[in-house]
Structure formats: structure tokens, C-alpha cells
Structure 1
Amino acid sequence: MIINTNENTSIITQEKATIIELVKKIEALYPKFKNQNIIVHLTSIKSIVLEDIIEFLQISNQHRAKKHSFVIVTESFDSSKSPDEIVVVPSLQEAYDIIEMEDMERDLGF
């Protein structure tokens, strides 16, 4: 797991761990980036199924409840099949766009 931080966003890049191992690592290190937006970059995994995405549901809900964005980036999953509580996009640029839009909504009180 590689963690890069810029401004108010942490990008967590999955290297070799399984999804379950990655979620456990994120939960263990959560205090480190709990006050930032989080992007989980899963592009190294070639096949992602709905069950993999759902593994992030609890931490996504927890993070979003604290008024921060949580976005998963993967090209190998159809984001239309994702639960509404989890944001899944195919590129880092789209993840940044989502965070920007959500920041504006929070600023406006939504």
C-alpha cells in the first residue's frame, strides 16, 4: 500500500494486497488521514467484483459521515453496479472532480 498526500487528499494505491487486506490496512491507518478526502486507487487489480467494492462500504460510510469524500478508482468495475453509498470512478481525474464537486456541496450546506 502506497499513501500519497497532496493538499487535503490522500491517495491510497493498492500494490499487492488483496482487497480484504487493503481494507484492514486502511482501517488500521485511518487516524492518519481521517481529516482528509480519500482516493483508493485499485488500477493494479484486473478483476474487481461487487463483493470487493462492498468491502469498502463501512469505511466509506464512516468517512463520508465526517463530511469527507471517499472515492474508489478502478477501470475494471462497472460503476453503475456500485451501491449508492460508494463512489467508484474509472480515473484519478474523475476522482478529483468528484471531490471538488462534493467540497462545493459541503460549502453550500448540502
Structure 2
Amino acid sequence: MKVEEKGHTITIKDTQGDIATFLEKVTSGYVGFKEHNIIIDLTQYNTLTLQEVVSFLSLSNKHREAKKSFVIVVNDFDFNEAPDEMVIVPTLLEAHDMIEMEEIERDLGF
């Protein structure tokens, strides 16, 4: 697992190639990340199933309840299949843009 901090955002990337193990590591290390916005970078996976992406839903909901952004980056994915409460984008640039927009919305009280 590779963790990169940039300002108020932490990007977490899997280095093992096993989505279930990666989710366990992120969940167990969550205490260290909870004060930051989180980007989960899954771009190294060529194909992911809906079930694999949705496995991050409970962590995403927990983080969003704490008024922080949680964005998943996936290359080749049908974004229409994902639950509405999950934020899934195709690039890291879009993930950072989404967090910036959510920060502005929170600052404005939306």
C-alpha cells in the first residue's frame, strides 16, 4: 500500500494487486487517515467488478458522515452501475477536482 499526502488529501494506492487485502489494510489503517480527504487509487486494475468497487461503500459512508471526501479512482468501469452515494471517477485529476468542489460546498454549508 502506497500512501501519498498532499495538503488536506491522502491518496492510497494498492501495491499488492489484491483488492480484498487492500481494503483490509485501508480499513485497519483508517484511524491515521480519518482527518484527511481520501482518494482510493485503483487505476492499476484493468477490470474491477461492481462488487469489488462496492466493497468500499461502508468505509466511504463512514468517512463522508465525518464531513470528509472519499473518492475512488477506477479506469475501466461502468459508473452508472455504482451506488449514488459513492463518488467514483476515472482519473486522479478528476478526484482532486471533486474533492475541491466538495470542500467548497462544505464551506458554503451545502
Q: State the partner residue of 1:45.
A: 45
- Range moving further from structure 2, 85-94 or 11-20: 11-20
Question: Which consecutive aligned stretches of 4+ in structure 1 deviate over 6 angstroms post-superposition?
Answer: none
Match of 1:90, as an amino acid? P
TM-score, structure 1 normalization: 0.96
**Kept after mapping to 2: 8 A contact 1:14/1:41:** yes
**What is the CA distance between 1:28 and its match in structure 2?**
0.6
Gap runs ≥5 in structure 1: none
Q: Percent identity between the aligned chains?
A: 44
**C-alpha distance in 2, partners of 1:65/1:73?**
20
**C-alpha distance in 2, partners of 1:77/1:4?**
24
1:97 and 2:97 aligned: yes
**CA deviation string 1:41-66 (max 9, x = no partner):** 01111111110111000000000000
**C-alpha distance in 2, partners of 1:23/1:62?**
14
TM-score, structure 2 normalization: 0.96
Number of equivalenced pairs: 110
Q: State the partner residue of 1:71.
A: 71
Counterpart of 1:48 in 2: which secondary structure?
Answer: coil
**What is the CA distance between 1:14 and its match in structure 2?**
1.2
**What is the CA distance between 1:77 and its match in structure 2?**
1.0
1:8 and 2:8 aligned: yes
Question: Where do 1:48-59 residues align within 5 Å?
Answer: 48-59=48-59
**C-alpha distance in 1, partners of 2:17/2:32?**
19
Counterpart of 1:3 in 2: which secondary structure?
Answer: strand
